[in-house]
Structure formats: C-alpha cells, structure tokens
Amino acid sequence: MDRPPVVALNEVSKSFGAVRALSGVSLQLLPGEAHALLGENGAGKSTLIKTLAGVHRPDAGQVLVDGSSRRFSGPADALAAGIAIIYQEPTLFGDLSVAENVFMGRQPLGFGRRIDVASMHARTAELFSRLGVRLDPARPARGLSIADQQLVEIAKALSFDARVIVMDEPTAALSAHEVQRLFGVVRALRDQDAAVLFVSHRLDEVFALCQRATVLRDGEFVWSGELSGETPDSLVRRMVGRELSQLFPKQDTAAGEVLLSVQRLTREGVFTDVSFDVRAGEIVALSGLVGAGRSEVARAVFGIDRPDGGSVHVRGRKLKYGSPTAAMAAGIGFVPEDRRQQGLVMDASIERNTALASLSRLSTFGLLRRSSERALAQDWAVKLRLKFARLSDPVGVLSGGNQQKVVLAKWLARKPSVLIVDEPTRGIDVGTKAEVHRLLSELAGQGVAVLMISSELPEVLGMADRVLVMHEGRLVEELSRDEATEERVALAAAGQVAR
Amino acid sequence: MTAATAVATRGTAARRLSNRVGRVRELGIVVALALVVIPTAIVNPRFIQPQSLRDLLLNASIVALLAVGQTLVVVTRNVDLSVGSVLGLSAFLTAQQFADHPGTPLLAGIGFGVVVGLACGLLNGLLVALGNVPSLVVTLGTLYVFRGIDYALAQGRQVNAANLPDALLDLGSSRILGIPILVLVTVVVIAVAAVYLRSYRSGRELYAIGSNPEAATLAGIPVAKRTLTTFVLSGLIAGLAGALWVARYGTVDAAAGTGLELQVVAAVVVGGVAIFGGSGTVAGAALGALLLGTITSCLVVLQIPAFWQQAIAGALLLSAITVDRLLALRLAKALRKTEGTSHA
C-alpha cells in the first residue's frame, strides 16, 4: 500500500493575462521519494514551483498538504508547511553574512530573544560540513561564485529540516564533484522520509537520483510514472513530443589563421600564466571545475577585468587592457555566463536587447532609428528561430532558451570574428540546446574562432576541436579532439595530469 | 591538507577584512571629528571647555535622533524626507498643548508629540507599503502636506517660553552628572535602536529587505509590514524630537525644523549607511550627525562666512561617498580573491 503524499497538486491551473502557464496539472510528492519534474523551457515548471512556494496562487485546482487543501497567502505559509525551495537563480542577501542568509527569519535565539550569533555560526558550519564545503559562515554573501551561492541555498533548505525540498536546476552551476556531494545529501534526506522534487535538464542526474517523474509540455500534464521502465530517449520524446537529431553536431572544418592569441595572461589570485590560441573555424573548449578560473579568463580577454600581466592579440594586434570597447572593436563577441544579470537588460524589449551591441551602426548623427532596430531584431529572430509574441515585449518574459538566443543574436549582429561563449546552454531545454550547438558549429564553419566554456562534459567532447583544461587558475592540459575523453578531461580538471 | 587550510584562512581573512572596513567607517568619522576639533581648539581654546562641548552635543542631538529613525528607513532601501515637517508639526502642537492646558503633565505632553509623529509616520508607511508608491515621492509630498497643516494650525502665531511649564524647559537645560538630559535621551534611543538592528530577527530582516527585496519576499519576510513599521518608527522618533525641540528652544512657530530633512539624510550618508539599503548602523548615523554639527560650530568659531559652511558640509558629504565607494571596491576585490570553497 502506497503512503499518502506529503504535498500534492490537484488539477492546478494558472494564467498570466492571456498566457496559460499551467492547465489542470496534477502532481504527487511521496515521502522518501525523489520525483523529477521534466519539460522544456516554457513548459510550466517554474510556475508549478512558484505555486508550491506560495508565490503564485492557482486560478483553479488545489494545493494539498497532508491530504487537506491549503491556500498559501505567501512564501511564509509554504515555508511554515515545510516546503523549501532552492531556486535556479540564487536569492541571497549580499550585505549579510552567509550564516544570516541561511537562517534569515529563523535565527537561533538566546537571552531575551536576541540572536545567538555564535550558535548561528556553529550551526551553519555544521551544515557546510554535511555538504562537504568550506565556507566561512561569517563572511558576507557578496562576492561568492554562483556555485557557492547555490551551496548556501542548499544549506538554507537543510537548515529547517524541510519535509519537501524543491530544487530547480540545482546542479547547473556545480562541478561534477559538488554534484556528487549534493546527491549524497539529497539521498540522505530522502531516506529520512523527505519528499524531493528535482528539476534538471541533465537526464543522467535524473536517473541517478529519482524514482518517479512527471513530464509537462506547454503547461499541460503529459505523463507521470516510475522511472525504472524509462530511458533518456523515451523521456526526451515525451518532453518534446518528437524525435531529436544528434545533440552535438560540430562538423570538421579546416582551421585557418590564428584569430585570438592569449599569452601568459595573469590576474593575481585568480589565474596565472594562461596562454592559448584559437584559429578561424575552430571551437576551443575551456574546461575545468567551477572556480578553476575559466570565466575569469574569458572576462579578462574581453576586457571586463583588468589583467595584471600578459597580452591578448586579435588578428595579430594587441588589445588594450581592460577595455570591452577595444575588444568589441577588434571583433570579439562575449556571451556571458549569467544571462539575466550580464547578458540582457531584462526589462528592455527583445529588439532593444538585440540591437544593444550595434547601436552606432544603427544610428545616424547619433540618433537611433527605431525602424532599423526593429529590422535588425526581426532578421535575427527569424535566423535563430526565436519564439516570441512581439519584438516589443520585454526580454524577461521569454523562456531561458529564447533569452539565450537573444544574447547570441546581439553579438552575431556585429559579425564577430571571435566569439566567447560562457556556459552557452546552461538551463536551456534539449531542443534549444541542439539549436545553439548547430549555430556554434555553423559559425565555426563560417570562419569564426569560438572559445567555449562549458561544465557539461558531453558538450565539451562533442563540440570542441581542442579542449583546454584549467585547474586552480592554471592551464594544465591541452587535448585534441581525438585525445579528449571524459576520463582524461575529468582527471586534468581534478589536477591529476600525468607528466 | 595545506590547500584546504589555506582556503579556510583565506575565507576568514575575507571576514576580517569586511569587519575591519565596517569599523574603519566609524573610526573614520571619529578621526574626522578630531581633525576639525583640534585645529579649532588651538585657534580658540575656549572651544573645548565643558560648556562648549555640551552645546556641541546638545545641538547635534536632535539631528542625531532623527538620523536614527532615518537609518531604519534607509536600511530598507527607502527614504523619509518628511522628518523635518513632522518635527515642526509635533513641536508646534506639543507647545500649543502645554500653553493651552497649563496643567498638562510633562510626560503626557511629550507623549502627545510622539503620537502626532506616529500618526504622520503611519500615513507615510501606509502609502509606501500598501500603496506601493516610491518612498521618495510619498515623503516629498507629505513634507509639504505636514508643513502646510503646521502653518494652517499656527496661523502666524508662535508659542513663547513664558507660556510653557518650567518642568518642560528644565528638561531642555538640566543635566545629570554634567550631561544634558536631551543628550542622554538621544543616547538611549541610539542604544535601543542599535541593539534592535543588530540582535533581533525583525531588525535583521530590515537589512535583508534593503539588500535584496525580491529575495526577502521569497524568504517569507513580511516586507510590507516591516516597511510600514520603519516609517511609523521614523515618524514616532521625529515626534519625540519635536517635543524635545520645544524643551530645548522654548519658542516655537510653524517654521520649526524647516530643511532639517536634508541635514538628516546627509548625516546618515556621512555616517556610512548605504543609501541603497542593506548596510549601516545607527551609531554611525549619529556620529555623522555629530560630525556635521561640529563642523558648523567650528566654522562659526573660526569666523568663516555662513555660505562657506554649507559648501563645506556639501564637500564633506561628497568625500564621505567617495570614501565609501573606494572601500566598497577594495572590499569587492578582496572578497573576489578569497572567494571559493575547498572540497575535501
């Protein structure tokens, strides 16, 4: 006999204006079980999570806690019901200490209901040791990497012994090692009878962790059942409703002249003596664990951060230090890791965002022509098969995959000769991912030099002509496409290079 | 093992550095105070006589009091520009109450002023928290509304010290152990607010709201309720300051406290409270008020023309913001360097 669900959604519907985000979706979370929520971006996963979180109130249907219907009037109610949510985008307070972030609103109290800081720090340290990470509980949250921020969020969920833990893409920013740690903790929680709802685009993780899955497509319930009889292919078919072609289609292209040359680039305390070339038509992957300094190298090459030593040449001409303007003028495009914060102006329209890097070309005597902005955006929206309602909609309403297409369009509109992409497919659904891969491959075919940073090994191995591996701020290994295997890259990333 | 230890120590270094930056901020004000007081004292030794120092503290205490209320508001990423008008309205109504009803007990009269301020703060808070109107706009509006009510009620009259009870006037001038009572009241308010902001859950939630409003909502913090509370407290403190203003100056008309709000905001910023919320202390804000007040007094003692005094106060504000910015950049760089975890 099955045990009753801790939390269940019963025929829940939710609309935003004319857009139907969820229609009649049901879901049951059982104690001691990890449940995967699957679907492409825009399928309604986020809306479902926010309904569980008490952020959205359903238009129809019920949220059941222990079998009885509940109306959450806000996130506090959901928290009180024992539902902890780990959002995809970390929601930390940068000015406050890590420990306060973990215990906000639930700080341990001492004499006279005053916060007992020592005990708060001790308990935070204890949570971190359960997660196997070393973070000073007293340091401010500001300045933490995305992976570390994610770990703080996870510690927060652990801190109140939640009965239901919802994780929205918790592993997107984590390295393989951190993912294993996290899974260990999640399994332990599950064995202590917590219900886990796990959202991920990485199907291998889903199979490693979950017993049951629910698939959504376009806001509708598609399928729910045991994972034991399923394969990744069968799940993908349910998510997209069609067969997928091969995921990583990089074609071989003859490498041309060196377009980007980085020599002994150093930024103190971040990375040291990094040298590499990228040729026309090549895709070079920069691999390594989170925190190895990959994104930091990319930022320095593009001139966002000022290096302390070394040089960057584009087509043989030396770039000025610390100037993105100079990097852009030299033909570099940069698709950053964090598209919401760094890649896009979320409140601005699709056309504004697309045109953002091409403003001088689109204006006459310093005045921007609206019509040319629109024409440019229209052109690229078609080329990249962007899904949108109107070009004047804020880019924030698009799904993650479509947002990434807008970032790409912004740079492609400048016809770059060097394109740096940092985690180009993070948090993007399978279908769009394949499109992004095809696009990068096409660009390389057209003679663009592509430098790709990625934490996904299959992506690295499938797409890259060469793989550079970083470990603790240094380039430790260079592998050709034939040499690169999952094992060799992982070993080098862990600092185990046979010399 | 060595790598892990190194990371642990680096993390600790980050904490130490950020603590130190916080302390440097308050220490900086103390140093600045010394830098203005010492030269002035050399030019005019009478400047550091006890009576003169007492006046310094007395003059600063009303602005410092308002700065405490303002800090509560600014920490949540809001601002209360109406404090000068609230003080004026409370001062006039309190004075009128004492003058029209000679038998009013001292505490009841002061309490009346506090209630007036509380009502004003409640209006501000309701408009900001429930009406979702930016606080800058709301309090700019109520700045004029409260002052207008003040003028309408006063009808050009003023209340003189002769019509006020001696108990009230004594409060403004008497001392305990050589320290003026007004200063003691201010110190008590600062201490209570400091403990509240540092050690109580709802106090910490104010920082959380200012640091990341969206995350505060997701963390289940009652943002509207807390915001409302800060405006009520700011109004209440401004009401108290109004009653104390009567005690200190004795003569009150409808113009009392005009323009004070800008001094208060300046004191808060000089005192290291981030204008976009999330960080800062009431002690810093009060020190900021003391520094601004002291500079004004010094310039008077040094016989520098009045219009220079304003320019110098403005320059100080700009340099305070510059120092903050530089410290923030250094801290960000240091935090980045020490970023990262080690995985055993």
What is the mean predicted confidence (pLDDT) over A76-95?
A: 88
pLDDT above 60 (res B339): no
User: What is the domain range of residue B127?
Assistant: 20-334
State whether residue A181 sits within 8 Å of chain B by CB: yes
pLDDT band at residue B344 under the 50/70/90 scheme = very low
Long-range contacts of range B273-277, CB-CB < 8 Å, 24 or more positions apart? B273/B71, B273/B74, B273/B75, B274/A95, B274/B74, B274/B210, B274/B324, B275/B74, B275/B79, B276/B77, B276/B210, B277/B74, B277/B75, B277/B76, B277/B77, B277/B78, B277/B207, B277/B209, B277/B210, B277/B211
Q: How many domains does chain B have?
A: 1
pLDDT above 60 (res B328): yes
pLDDT (0 to 100) of residue B16: 64
Q: Give per-residue pLDDT as tens, A288-299.
A: 877 788 999 999
Task: Assess if residue A292 is contained within a domain.
Answer: yes
Find the distance separating the first CA and the last CA of chain A, reported in whole Å.
58
Is the CA virtual torsion B111, B116, B120, B123 positive or negative?
positive
Question: Domain check: are A290 and A338 in the same one?
Answer: yes
pLDDT band at residue B343 under the 50/70/90 scheme = very low
Task: Assess if residue A472 is contained within a domain.
Answer: yes
Which of B77, B195, B212 is the mutation pick for testing A, counting most A CBs within 10 A? B212
Task: Assess if residue B194 is contained within a domain.
Answer: yes
pLDDT (0 to 100) of residue B22: 59
- CA–CA distance, A55 with A76 (Å, rounded to integer): 9
Chain B residues with beta carbon closer than 8 angstroms to that of A78: 220
State whether residue A242 sits within 8 Å of chain B by CB: no
Closest CA to A99 of A91, A108, A90, A112: A108
pLDDT (0 to 100) of residue B98: 92
Task: Assess if residue A128 is contained within a domain.
Answer: no
pLDDT above 50 (res B264): yes
More confident residue, A401 or A245: A401
Question: Domain check: are A377 and A419 in the same one?
Answer: yes
Determine, for residues B343 and A133 on separate chains, whether the beta-carbon distance falls below 8 Å: yes
Chain A residues with beta carbon closer than 8 angstroms to that of B221: 76, 104-105
pLDDT (0 to 100) of residue A114: 92
State whether residue A114 sits within 8 Å of chain B by CB: yes
State whether residue A132 sits within 8 Å of chain B by CB: yes
More confident residue, B134 or B341: B134
Determine, for residues B335 and A142 on separate chains, whether the beta-carbon distance falls below 8 Å: yes
Question: Domain check: are A312 and A453 in the same one?
Answer: yes
What is the mean predicted confidence (pLDDT) over A191-207?
A: 87
Alpha helices in A241-383 (DSSP H): 294-301, 324-329, 350-355, 359-362, 370-383
pLDDT (0 to 100) of residue B300: 84
Question: Domain check: are A356 and A478 in the same one?
Answer: yes
Find the distance separating the first CA and the last CA of chain B, reported in whole Å.
8
Chain A residues with beta carbon closer than 8 angstroms to that of B340: 145, 148, 291
Task: Assess if residue B11 is contained within a domain.
Answer: no
Please give the order of strands across the beta sheet that includes A195-199.
A68-70, A60-65, A7-16, A19-29, A220-226, A212-217, A34-38, A195-199, A164-168, A83-86
Determine, for residues A270 and B199 on separate chains, whether the beta-carbon distance falls below 8 Å: no
Determine, for residues A91 and B221 on separate chains, whether the beta-carbon distance falls below 8 Å: no
- Quote ipTM for the complex: 0.82
Question: Domain check: are A428 and A318 in the same one?
Answer: yes
Give SS3 for A363: strand
Question: Are A202 and A233 spatial neighbours (Cβ–Cβ below 8 Å)?
Answer: no
Q: Give per-residue pLDDT as tens, B38-74.
A: 988 998 888 888 888 888 898 899 999 999 999 999 9
Question: Domain check: are A235 and A373 in the same one?
Answer: no
Say which residues have a Cβ less than 8 Å from residue A183's Cβ, sequence separation at least 6.
A205, A208, A209
pLDDT (0 to 100) of residue A148: 83
Residue A291: which of B12, B214, B340 has the nearest Cβ? B340
Q: Give per-residue pLDDT as tens, B87-119.
A: 999 999 999 999 999 888 999 999 999 999 999
Task: Assess if residue A133 is contained within a domain.
Answer: no
Question: Domain check: are A230 and A319 in the same one?
Answer: no
State whether residue B2 sits within 8 Å of chain A by CB: no
Determine, for residues B204 and A96 on separate chains, whether the beta-carbon distance falls below 8 Å: yes
Task: Assess if residue A499 is contained within a domain.
Answer: no
Number of CB pairs < 8 Å for A and B?
A: 129
Q: How many domains does chain A have?
A: 2
Question: Are A153 and B215 spatial neighbours (Cβ–Cβ below 8 Å)?
Answer: no
State whether residue B204 sits within 8 Å of chain A by CB: yes
Task: Assess if residue A113 is contained within a domain.
Answer: no
Which of A77, A97, A127, A139 is the mutation pick for testing B, counting most B CBs within 10 A? A139
Q: Between residues 213 and 242 of chain B, which touch chain A (CB distance below 8 Å)?
A: 214-222
Q: Give per-residue pLDDT as tens, A114-172.
A: 999 999 999 999 998 888 788 899 998 988 877 788 889 888 888 887 889 999 887 76
What is the mean predicted confidence (pLDDT) over B275-292?
A: 91
Question: Domain check: are A263 and A364 in the same one?
Answer: yes
Task: Assess if residue B12 is contained within a domain.
Answer: no
- The residue of chain A nearest to residue B331, with distances taken between CA atoms, is A143
- CA–CA distance, A311 with A84 (Å, rounded to integer): 47
What is the mean predicted confidence (pLDDT) over B20-39?
A: 77
State whether residue A317 sits within 8 Å of chain B by CB: no
State whether residue A109 sits within 8 Å of chain B by CB: yes
- CA–CA distance, B257 with A358 (Å, rounded to integer): 52
Question: Domain check: are A214 and A342 in the same one?
Answer: no
Q: Give per-residue pLDDT as tens, A354-368.
A: 988 888 888 888 888
pLDDT above 70 coverage of chain B, percent: 90
The encoded tokens of residue B128 equal 């900001």
pLDDT (0 to 100) of residue B7: 42
Q: Give per-residue pLDDT as tens, B148-163.
A: 999 999 998 899 888 9
- CA–CA distance, A358 with B124 (Å, rounded to integer): 45
User: What is the domain range of residue A367?
Assistant: 258-493
- CA–CA distance, A458 with A465 (Å, rounded to integer): 13
Instruction: Tell me which of A240, A273, A306 is where a domain ends.
Output: A240
Q: Give per-residue pLDDT as tens, A423-480.
A: 888 777 777 888 888 889 988 988 999 999 987 777 888 889 999 999 888 999 999 9
pLDDT (0 to 100) of residue A499: 47
Question: Domain check: are A224 and A276 in the same one?
Answer: no
More confident residue, B329 or A423: A423
Give SS3 for B251: coil
For residue B298, what are the CA distances in angstroms to A375, B29, B46, B284, B312?
64, 16, 11, 21, 11
Chain A residues with beta carbon closer than 8 angstroms to that of B223: none
What is the average pLDDT value for chain B, to the nearest integer? 86
Q: Give per-residue pLDDT as tens, A9-52.
A: 999 999 876 667 888 999 999 999 999 999 876 678 888 999 99
Question: Domain check: are A303 and A368 in the same one?
Answer: yes
Question: Domain check: are A161 and A304 in the same one?
Answer: no
State whether residue A168 sits within 8 Å of chain B by CB: no
pLDDT above 80 (res A2): no
Task: Assess if residue A114 is contained within a domain.
Answer: no
Task: Assess if residue B185 is contained within a domain.
Answer: yes
DSSP state of A407: H
DSSP state of A250: P
Task: Assess if residue B8 is contained within a domain.
Answer: no
A33: domain CATH number is 3.40.50.300
pLDDT above 50 (res B2): no
pLDDT (0 to 100) of residue B126: 96
B173: domain CATH number is 1.10.3470
Task: Assess if residue A2 is contained within a domain.
Answer: no
